[in-house]
Structure 1
Amino acid sequence: MKVRVNVVLKEGVLDPQGKAIGHALDVLGFHGLGEVRVGKTIEVDVPTENEEAAVAQGEAMARALLANLVIEDFSAEVVA
């Protein structure tokens, strides 16, 4: 079963990469955009057919390695 873990910076944490992308989009003519934030997505095939177990494993991986819990939030979901 495939699990997708999305990791994003917590609110209030500066996102210089997002700022740079937001500026570049403005230069390219995409005016009036709000704040741009950058995150990462990790997809992992886990050896289970149980959705709850797959999500729990994705969350455990995020806590152990994939996310820096001091500055990042995460979510895990099963994908088709």
Structure 2
Amino acid sequence: MSRKTTPPKNDLPLTEEREDATSYAVTALAPGRVAGQRATEGDVLRLTEEEARNELLSGHIRPVTADGVKAD
């Protein structure tokens, strides 16, 4: 007999929908997971400042500017 489980409710919207999230491009230095998400070079992730902090310091991501060009 299997037990049916329901995922816990989270009142926070997805990161992609949050106003405090910023776009970051994944660099070649990044491992297979960035900020807990599977990612490859060139992917664009929407992360909060807190989620992005360590990845920025590690060189795994770069901010994306408003015109879509990856900042150096």
- Alignment TM class, shorter chain as reference: under 0.3
Higher Cα Rg, which structure: 1
Query: Which structure dedicates a bigger proportion of its chain to helix?
Result: 1
TM-score, structure 2 normalization: 0.21
Greater relative contact order: 1 or 2 (C-alpha under 8 angstroms, separation 6 or more)? 1
Query: Which structure dedicates a bigger proportion of its chain to strand?
Result: 1
